[in-house]
Amino acid sequence: MRAQFRIRIRIVLAFVVFIAFLILARLYFIQILQGQDYAQKADQQFASNSSGLFDRGSIYFTRKDGTLISAATLASGYLVAINPQTLVDPEAAYAAITSVASSSLTHAAFLAAAARKTQVYIEVAQHLSDAEGTALTAMGIPGVQVLRERWRYYPGNTLAAQTIGIVSYGSGATLTGQTGLEATYDSTLSRSGDVLYKNFFAELFSNVGRLLVNTQDAHQGDIVTTIEPEVEMRLAADLAKVNTKYSSIGSGGIIMDTKTGAILALASYPTFNENDLQNINPQILSNPLVEHVFEYGSIMKPITMASALTAGVVTPQTTYNDTGCIHVDGNRICNWNYRSHGAYGIIPMQTIIEQSLNVGASWVAEQLGQEKFRAYFTKIFGQKTGIDLPNETDALIGNLYKPQQIYYDTAAFGEGIAVTPIQMIRALGAIANHGVMVNPHLVSAIRLNSGVVQQLNWGQGTRIFSAAAARETTVMMDALWDKALIVDGVSARIPTMSVAAKTGTAQLPTPTGGYYNDKFFNSEVAFFPSFDPRFIILLYTDDPQHVIYAEQSLSTSLLDLVHFLINYYNVPPDRGFATTTSS
């Protein structure tokens, strides 16, 4: 009797175990092997998106006091969807929805959507505020669903738009960074999206380790940029004024920390509102400051001079006989003011920078020789800067590999070679930074989800010029600002602050290889305090109308930015002239 009972118990136990194994096997097949297929089928029937609410890391501006301000974050609200199969009164539903929030669908399109009875989910309005969503939910309209929603939001709207970048679906099915920092740091900012919908059984079978330690936290996080929002805004405002005043094709500017390469502001005009990407020209999404190359004109002369001084082929005391015009390889090169001023005669090197003499720059290039000239310029412009933005373009310096001297003579004053604005400010920054070329960058740190703040190390930079050559070139640029630069009829000189500057005006190239006589590219650079600079500013405007020289088009903005930065950062005076000046 007892033996029979034990046998029965064992049979029952074996049956239970067998059933349990069957269930486990079935669960394994359904949830592990076929889980995605079932999830997709379910999503197609009942949900808008299998990955749940959109999630993505933030991008931050950094104020001068270290406060982080969101450049890109997430906004929360509601979306409205209809189920045509259960929607009873489309007219009433449309009226109710539009009374609360403006639907992205027209009345006719809404009715057409409501008529699609084979579907159970059609989104009709997005980005509703909490109040709007709550109000619509309270109406309880049959067939109308009010669902929680999150989307990418840029509090600055147009602020640093090309630099911050955008997210979009692109060619895939998920929102990813397409331009700017959103693209460069996409792997850090992206979120897997499965956190909200963990399948308990599936996790037990396949991701026990991840339940305990989430490895994604070690590489996902928020990024902290070096961009100072108020400086960025000031730069953008100045560029907008220049571009509007002179009806330029476009204008751009960069403000960089000369010692570290941290970009404080990087802006171009025209720009766009990142929160409203409908009906914008896709070309405007690119960042001309790293993706376009330009011929800058005379702001290249300090680089030529610093190269020659470093090579030891000239000294600040070296003189040459300026004839006003020279002929090289059958081409005529003249000073910009030859017609009004004529030849300068025997003059020192400083006058070349101070008066921006093309003939002088060509003479310096000839003293340097083709091989050394090519070596210096290749070292400076031969590689991309490595800035953390996508699609950085190479400089066009192919002319420096040709034997004709004309290419070196013109490159010496910034024509015949084309570089990106970010390459240009890095090169000029080497003069400001005592001869060392830094690595420009936009992101200083990554705040990982694990709580660790990963500081990015951008290196110490590369020595390009000798410290003495950099200082001697700075003296020349400093003299230009104090003695030669006139802004709105008044000297730019600041009695208590030394500023080193250079203006540049280049003729725009024609598609056939020549140059326009009536189209110009204006550029201007300044760094201060001259001999221990904190900031370097580069501005340009492309094809300004009714103006020829950069001094006319850009100096007002440059001076405004210099004064703004001195005041905003409380830069102490670096020279002791107590002066009262009339405005």
Partner 1 sequence: MPSDTIAHKHPLHARRAARAFHFHLPFSPVSLCFGTVAVLAITYIGLIAVVMSYAVLTVEFSQSVRNDEATVATLESQYLAAVAQITDTNYVAAGYAKPIAKIFVPTQSATALR
Task: Enter the tokens of residue 389.
Answer: 């933005």
Dihedral (Cα; 161, 164, 170, 174), 10-degree rounding: -130
Tell whether residue 55 is a contact of partner 1 (CB under 8 A): yes
Q: Yes or no: say if 164 and 72 are a contact pair by the CB < 8 Å rule.
A: yes
| Prior bond of 533 cis (ω within 30°) | no
Closest to partner 1 by CB, 455 or 570: 570
Measured distance CA(365)–CA(354) in Å, rounded: 17
CA distances to 102, 155, 234, 250, 336 from 239, rounded to whole Å, are 35, 20, 9, 9, 26
Residue 291 binds to partner 1 (criterion: CB under 8 A): no
Stretch that binds partner 1, among 66-74, 117-125, 402-410, 503-511 (CB under 8 A): 66-74
User: Which residues within the stretch 351-390 sit at the binding site for partner 1 (CB under 8 A)?
Assistant: none
Contact indicator for 371, 307 with CB cutoff of 8 Å: no
Scan residues 518-557 and list those touching partner 1 (CB under 8 A).
529, 531-532
Q: What letter would DSSP give residue 129?
A: -
Nearer of residues 509 and 573 to partner 1, judged by Cβ:
573
Residue 426's identity, in one-letter code, is: R
Q: Which stretch binds partner 1 (CB under 8 A): 161-169, 296-304, 450-458, 491-499?
A: 491-499
| C-beta of 14 vs 115, nearer to partner 1 | 14
Sole window of 87-95, 233-241, 433-441, 536-544 interacting with partner 1 (rule: CB under 8 A): 233-241
Is 474 an interacting residue with respect to partner 1 (CB under 8 A)? no
Closer CB to partner 1, residue 230 or residue 543?
A: 230
The minimum distance between CB 348 and partner 1, in angstroms, equals: 20
Contact status: 571 vs partner 1 (CB under 8 A)? no
Q: What is the DSSP letter of 270?
A: S
**Minimum separation from the CB atom of position 174 to partner 1 (A):** 18
* Total residues binding partner 1 (CB under 8 A): 46
The yes or no reply on residue 123 touching partner 1 (CB under 8 A) is no
What distances in angstroms separate CA 408 from CA 249, 413, 417, one per listed residue? 29, 9, 9
**Among 53-61, 342-350, 452-460, 542-550, the segment contacting partner 1 (CB under 8 A):** 53-61
Choose, by CB under 8 A, the member of 48, 50, 70, 507 that binds partner 1.
70
- Return the range that interacts with partner 1 (CB under 8 A); candidates 100-108, 285-293, 328-336, 573-581: 573-581
Give yes or no for residue 127 binding partner 1 (CB under 8 A): no
Q: How buried is residue 401: exposed, middle or buried, by Cβ count under 10 Å (0-12/13-18/19+)?
A: exposed
What value does the CA radius of gyration of the chain take, rounded to a whole number of Å? 32
Please report how close the Cβ of residue 54 comes to partner 1 at its closest, in angstroms. Answer: 10
In SS3 terms, 205-227 reads as HHCHHHHHCCHHHHCCEEEEECC
57 near partner 1, rule: CB under 8 A: no
Examine residue 120 and tell whether it contacts partner 1 (CB under 8 A): no
Interface mask toward partner 1 for 193-232; x: CB under 8 A: --xx-x-x----------------------------xx--
> Are the beta carbons of 300 and 413 closer than 8 angstroms?
yes
Site for partner 1 contains 577 (CB under 8 A): yes
73 lines the binding site for partner 1 (CB under 8 A): yes
Is there binding between residue 448 and partner 1 (CB under 8 A)? no
Give the whole-angstrom CA distance, residue 422 versus residue 401. 23
Name 524's bridge partners: 503, 539
Residue from 84, 143, 155, 369 binding partner 1 (CB under 8 A): 155
Q: Computed from CA positions of residues 181, 449, 256, 299, in that sequence, does the dihedral angle turn out positive or negative?
A: negative
Q: Examine residue 9 and tell whether it contacts partner 1 (CB under 8 A).
A: yes
For residues 153 and 336, which CB has a smaller minimum distance to partner 1 in the complex?
A: 153
Q: Which of 27, 30, 74, 479 binds partner 1 (CB under 8 A)?
A: 74
Nearer to partner 1 by Cβ, of 498 and 503: the residue is: 498
Nearest approach, Cβ of 148 to partner 1 (angstroms)?
Answer: 8
Give DSSP secondary structure letters for 331-396: EEEE-TTHHHH---EEEEHHHHHHTT-HHHHHHHHHHH-HHHHHHHHHHHHSS----SSTTPPPPB
User: Can residue 116 be called a binding residue for partner 1 (CB under 8 A)?
Assistant: no
Nearer to partner 1, 138 or 578 (CB): 578
**Considering the complex, what minimum distance in angstroms separates the CB of residue 93 from partner 1?**
27
| 94 contacts 111 by C-beta, under 8 angstroms | yes
Residue 318: Cβ within 10 Å count: 14
Q: Is 573 among the residues that bind partner 1 (CB under 8 A)? A: yes
What is the spatial distance between Cα 485 and Cα 492, in angstroms, rounded to a whole number? 6
C-alpha 294: how far from chain center: 18
Task: Say which amino acid occupies 168.
Answer: S
- Comparison of 290 and 565: residue with beta carbon closer to partner 1: 565
Q: Is 13 in the site for partner 1 (CB under 8 A)?
A: yes
- Rounded to the nearest whole angstrom, what is the least distance from the CB of residue 67 to partner 1 in the complex? 10
Q: Applying CB under 8 A, which part among 30-38, 154-162, 305-313, 327-335 lies near partner 1?
A: 154-162
Tokens 């109040």 -> residue: 131
Q: Which residues pair with 331 in a beta bridge?
A: 328
Please identify which residue in 299, 494, 539, 559 interacts with partner 1, judged by CB under 8 A: 494
Q: Within the chain, what is the greatest distance between any pair of CA atoms?
A: 129
Using CB under 8 A, pick the residue from 125, 159, 412, 506 that binds partner 1: 159
What DSSP state is assigned to residue 480?
Answer: I
Could you report how far apart the first and last alpha carbons of the chain are, in Å?
Answer: 116
The DSSP element (H or E) to which 90 belongs, if any, is helix 90-100
Nearer to partner 1, 120 or 237 (CB): 237
Looking at the Cβ atoms of 190 and 439, the one nearer to partner 1 is 190
Number of CB atoms found within 10 A of residue 119's CB: 13
Report the C-alpha gap between 168 and 262 in whole angstroms: 28
38 vs 577 by CB, closer to partner 1: 577
Pairing type for strands 221-225 and 59-62 reads parallel
Which residue ranges make up the site for partner 1 (CB under 8 A)? 9, 13, 53, 55, 58, 69-70, 73-76, 148, 150, 153, 155-157, 159, 195-196, 198, 200, 229-230, 233-234, 237, 494-496, 498, 529, 531-532, 572-583
